[in-house]
Amino acid sequence: MSSVEPKDNRDLVALRELEPVEAPPEVVARVRRQAHAELEVVREGDWLTRASRAWNRVGLPAALTVVVVGYLSWAVGAASALYQ
């Protein structure tokens, strides 16, 4: 037995033997409608979704690149000033 597994599996065995509970058809239909509506928003998206997607794909990596290059140029300049 690995350290992750519990020492007493009786509870897990009892849970596995339980029959699944089916949700009422109204709940299934409501969840399906909600999921399709959310997928539609994600696929087409409103302006905030498009803006955040553009920021995450382009703006953030560009900003991080500028910060890293700026820091590295400062660090190299400071180190070379110390050696002169």
Tell whether the model's pLDDT for residue 4 goes beyond 80.
Answer: no
- pTM of the entire structure? 0.46
CB atoms within 10 A of CB 55: 13
* pLDDT score, position 45: 74
Tell whether the model's pLDDT for residue 1 goes beyond 80.
Answer: no
How confident is the model over 17-75, as pLDDT tens digits? 999 999 999 999 999 999 999 888 777 777 888 888 889 999 999 999 999 999 999 99
3-class secondary-structure state, position 81? helix
Domain ranges of the chain: 22-83
Structure tokens at 15: 């849970």
Structure tokens at 4: 């992750």
Q: Distance of CA 20 to CAs 17, 23, 27, Å?
A: 9, 10, 16
